[in-house]
Each structure stands twice: as structure tokens, then as C-alpha cells.
Structure 1
């Protein structure tokens, strides 16, 4: 009987890697401009300024606020599901929507006190 218990405990394996918290997703959808029309208008009227605002929030150079690298950094920092490939495709195909989504998520995390 003791040998049987030892054998069972050896079979058990770690399935999930330990981490700080479970992976999440962005708090708004990619095309969810209706949840924050101000950010979308800001992005449409002055897209470089929106990117600079994101970079400032992330303590990065103003030129770094647009594109997939800042999205990957943010996603990694907050354990958001995805990959660099997904970030590259989303930021390349829907640059304005991806940048607005990132800014909305930053603003939501600030209001929740978790940024």
C-alpha cells in the first residue's frame, strides 16, 4: 500500500507554471471605441500625440508609443494574453484601433489603481 501511494505521487505533475496572477485580457475590445469616444477622437485627430501620451504613461521615449513593441511591453507587464506575433499583426493591420485600445486600458488601470 505504501509503495502504491509513492507511485501515485510521482505521476502527479505540475501543469501550470507558478506566477504572480493568471493571464488576463485587455479590458476593452480592439474596436470598442464607443466605450471611450474621447480617446478615439484624440487618436484620429492627432495620432502621434496619442502615441506620445502612451509612451509618457509607460516612462518611454515619445517615439516609442506607437506600434507593436510598446504593446508587447505593456502586455507582458500586466500579464495579458497574446504573443509578439499577435501584437505585430494587430498593430500592423489596425494601428489606430490597437493604439486606442492600449490607451483605454492604461486609463482604466489608472482609475482602478493598478497601473
Structure 2
């Protein structure tokens, strides 16, 4: 049997939820609204990074690269710059879904 895909590699994809998909996970959105820095620390913890990194554009870019999610640094910059809460909640929703699917 030939190996056609390396373990841990992912085909090109999109984030599993939209940037403004608040109703997809109200708990994450409320968490972000009530304690935005805590949500960032939770993301950083999920990714084994420093707590200060959780709210940065860099962690979004690292995550996107790791899971081969389509996009660009410019897109990450605009998402985090224009609506940091939306971008952070989207990232946390995606992490949680990948955990449920066993691919995180």
C-alpha cells in the first residue's frame, strides 16, 4: 500500500465557522465578551504558547499554517485589526471543533 498523505498533514481548507458566526457557539462569544484576555490565554494554552500570544495576529497565522487553512498574513492582519473579538472567537471555535473531531 502506497502512502499518499503524510501523517499530520492537512489538505487546503477554510475555517470551520465564519468570522461573524456568533450563534454557532454562543458560549465562546460570551466568554470573549466577558473576559477577552482570558479567551486569548485559553487559545494560547491550547496551542502550547505564552499567554500573551493568544490575542495576536501571529497565533492566528501559525494556526492557519498548521492546519493548511487558506488565507494570508494580510487577511489575518485585517481580521484581527478590524474585529479582534470576531477573529479570536472564530479561532477558538475552530480549535474546539478540531478537538471534537480528534484532529487537534
**TM > 0.5:** yes
Residue 76 of structure 1 is matched in structure 2 by 65
Which residue of 2 is the match for residue 13 of structure 1? Answer: none
Task: Answer yes or no: is the 8 Å Cα contact 1:67–1:92 preserved in 2.
Answer: no
- Shift of residue 67 of structure 1? 2.2
* TM-score, scaled to structure 1: 0.82
Specify which of 16, 32, 42 is matched with residue 21 of structure 2.
32
Instruction: Name structure 2 gaps, 5 residues minimum.
Output: 1-5
Q: Deviations over 1:18-77 (max 9, x none)?
A: x84431000000000101000000000000000000000000000000021000000000
Gaps of 5+ in 1: 1-18
Q: Which residue does 1:107 correspond to in 2?
A: 96
1:25 and 1:80 in contact (8 A); partners too: yes
Higher relative contact order (CA 8 A, sep 6+): 2
Structure 1 runs (4+) deviating above 3 angstroms are none
Distance change in 2, residues 1:59/1:29 (3 Å) = same
Q: Is the 8 A contact 2:40 2:51 kept in 1?
A: yes
Over alpha carbons, which structure has the higher Rg?
1
Single out whichever of 21-30 and 51-60 deviates more from structure 2: 21-30
